Amino acid sequence: MMATTFAVLVAALVLRLLNLTRPAMACLFLSFIMVVGIFLWEIYSPDYGFRMPWLQVELRHARPAGSS
């Protein structure tokens, strides 16, 4: 997926060098959408996602007062 994103960015660069501004901007916008999609997939994927303990909520039972 990252290789595809890189290819779209290279296409945007080449199109801009050829003075095809609108297609270049379309490729740039498409690459931005792809990067956001990859980022969200990495964050929210239960199998491949990043571990972020500050976002994981678990119910922990508190010990009664006076017990050790």
Give the model confidence (pLDDT) of 36-65 as tens digits: 988 888 777 767 666 666 665 555 666 766
| DSSP three-state, residue 30 | helix
pLDDT above 90 covers what percent of the chain? 50
> How confident is the model at residue 56, as a pLDDT?
58
- Report the first-to-last Cα separation within the chain, whole angstroms: 52
Backbone phi and psi for residue 31, each to the nearest 5 degrees, phi listed first: -65, -35
Q: Among candidates 50, 26, 27, which has minimal Cα distance to 38?
A: 50
CB 43 within 8 A of CB 50: yes
d(CA 35, CA 26): 14
What average pLDDT is seen over the chain?
82
pTM (2 d.p.): 0.64
